[in-house]
Amino acid sequence: MTPDLRSKLEKNLSSYKDITQKLSTPEIYSDQLKMKSLNQELSKLEQSVKLFQKFLHIEKSISETQDLLNDDDKEMIAIARDELDGYEKELKQVELKIIEATIEKDPNDSRDIYMEIRAGTGGEEAAIFAGDLFKMYAKFAEKNKWSIEIINSNVSDHGGFKEIIYKVIGNNVYSYLKFESGTHRVQRVPDTETQGRVHTSASTVAVLPIVDQVDDIEINPADLRIDTYRASGAGGQHVNKTDSAVRITHLPTGIVSECQDDRSQHKNKAKALEYLHSRLLSAEQEKQKKDTDESRKKQIGSGDRSERIRTYNFPQGRVTDHRINLTLYKLDQLIEGNIEPLIDSLIEESRK
C-alpha cells in the first residue's frame, strides 16, 4: 500500500471515529438536520474504513506469524510459512477492494451513450473500417444485452459508413466504452488492391454520455434552426415521400444534429433534440476540463492516421493500444466483439 493511500485511510478512520462519537451526543441527536448530514458522511466513509480495519488486522496477523519463523521447531516454521502465504494473498485482495472503494467514481459511468463513428483518412477503405468498428461494438453490445438505436448514418459505396451515429442503452454503458474515443488505425490489404500491398486507413470514434434530463443544459429555442428534408432510402414501394428527416442547428455553437431513422417527423425531431442536448453537454464539459483526457476534441483528433489510440494490423493478426502499450495477437476475436481484454486493461490502468 502506498504511503499516500495509507495516510488517506488513517484520516478516514479518524474521521469515522470522530463522527461516530458525535452521533452519540444528545446535542446532535436533537438536531435532525445535523444528524442526517453526519450520517451521510459516515455512510461515505464506512466501506473504506471497514476494509482498512480488516487490512490492519491482517497486517497484525502477518507480523505475529513472522515471529514464529524464529522458532526452533521446523514443523512450526512450515506451518507459519503456509499461514503467511495465505495472509499475504488475503492482504492483497483487501488492498484491491480498498482501492476500488476509494476511487472517485465518474458521475457519467451509469449513463447510456451516443457513439459516433466516422471514416477518416483512407477513402473507401476507411469507410469499410468504420463499418467494421460498428459491427465490433454492436456485437459487444449484444453480448452485454444492451440495445442499439440508429440515429443517423451515411452508407459508403462498398457497404461501410462515411458516418454512423447511434445510441447504446443498457447497464453502465459509458463505464465500459468511454475509453474508445479517438482515432482507430487499420493496416490491411484492401479487396481492391491488386498488388497485395498493405494500406493504412483511419476512422474516428466519439463516445458521449446521454443527458438524462434536458434540464442538465438549457437551450433557448430561439437559438435553434430546424430544417426538414426527405430521408434517403433504398427507393421502391418503401421510399419516403414526406419530409420526415430533421436537421437541428444550434446557431451559437454551430453544432448540428440530424435524424432520419424513423418515418415520423415528430419522432425524428425528438431524437435529434435529445442528441443535441448530449452534444452540447459534452461541449460544456470540454470547456470545463480542457486539461484532462475527457476533452472530446483531444480524444478524437483530426482523423489522421498519425493520431491514433489503437492500431488493428490484419496481416499480423495484431491489435495495439498505444495509450497503455498493450499488444494482443487475437485480432480475429476482438473484431468479433470480444473486446473485454482491451477494455479491462484500460479500466485497470485508469484505476492505477
207: domain CATH number is: 3.30.70.1660
pLDDT band at 242; cut points 50, 70, 90: low
Say what the pTM is.
0.60
Rounded Cα distance between 325 and 347, Å, is 14
pLDDT at 252: 87
Q: Is residue 152 part of a domain?
A: yes
- Cα 11 to the chain's mean position, in Å? 31
CB 268 within 8 A of CB 274: no
Report the share of the chain in percent with pLDDT over 90: 39
DSSP state of 299: H
Domain boundary among 58, 83, 102: 102
Residue 20 and residue 78 in one domain: yes
Can you give the residue range of the structural domain that contains 36? 3-102
Cell of 12: 478516514
Neighbour count for residue 95 (Cβ, 10 Å): 17
**What digits encode the pLDDT tens for the residues 93-130?**
998 888 877 777 787 888 899 999 999 988 899 999 99
Q: Is residue 143 part of a domain?
A: yes
Q: What gap in Å lies between CA 345 and CA 342, rounded to an integer?
A: 5
Q: What are phi and psi of 65, to 5 degrees?
A: -70, -35
Say if residue 49 is in the same domain as residue 97. yes
Question: How much is the pLDDT for 296?
Answer: 41
Question: Where among 102, 127, 160 does a domain terminate?
Answer: 102
Report whether 319 contacts 327 (CB < 8 A). yes
pLDDT, the chain, mean: 84
Number of domains comprising the chain: 2
- Supply the pLDDT for residue 103: 74
Give CA–CA dist 274/117, Å, rounded: 18
DSSP state of 100: H
Q: How far is CA 146 from CA 116, 137, 140, 206, 339, in A?
A: 17, 11, 9, 18, 15
Q: Which of 102, 121, 147 is the last residue of a domain?
A: 102
98 plus 119 within the same structural domain: no
318-346: pLDDT as tens digits:
999 999 999 999 999 999 999 999 999 99
Amino acid at 140: F
Inside any domain, residue 196: yes
Identify whether residues 59 and 147 lie together within a single domain. Answer: no
In this structure, is residue 108 part of a structural domain?
no
User: Is 49 in the same domain as 79?
Assistant: yes
What would the pLDDT profile of 194-227 be if each residue is shown by its tens digit?
Answer: 677 899 999 999 998 886 554 456 778 888 898 8
The answer to whether residue 339 is domain-embedded is yes
Q: Are 173 and 146 in contact (CB under 8 A)?
A: yes
CB distance 148 to 156 below 8 Å: no
Residue 107 counted as domain residue: no
Q: Taking the CA of residue 301 as centre, how many other CA atoms within 13 Å lie in the half-sphere pointing to its CB?
A: 21
> Do 34 and 72 reside in the same domain of the chain?
yes
DSSP symbol at 192: T
Does one domain contain both 50 and 117? no
40, 143: one domain: no
Confidence at residue 5, expressed as pLDDT on a 0 to 100 scale:
87
Cell of 198: 498493405
- Does 135 reside within a domain? yes
- pLDDT value of position 323: 92
- Angstrom distance (rounded) from CA 117 to CA 330: 23
Q: Write out pLDDT tens, residues 150-187.
A: 988 999 888 899 999 999 999 889 999 999 999 999 99
For residues 121 and 95, membership in a common domain is answered with no
- Please check whether residues 57 and 145 belong to one and the same domain: no
On whether both 97 and 142 belong to a single domain, the answer is no
**Among 32-36, 109-113, 302-306, where is mean pLDDT lowest?**
302-306
The pLDDT of residue 212: 58
Instruction: Check pLDDT > 60 for residue 245.
Output: yes
229 and 288 share a domain?
Answer: yes
| pLDDT tier at 238, thresholds 50, 70, 90 | very low
Q: Is the pLDDT reported for residue 289 higher than 70?
A: no
Q: Is residue 282 part of a domain?
A: yes
CATH code of the domain in which 48 resides = 1.20.58
* pLDDT tens digits for range 262-280: 788 888 888 888 888 888 8
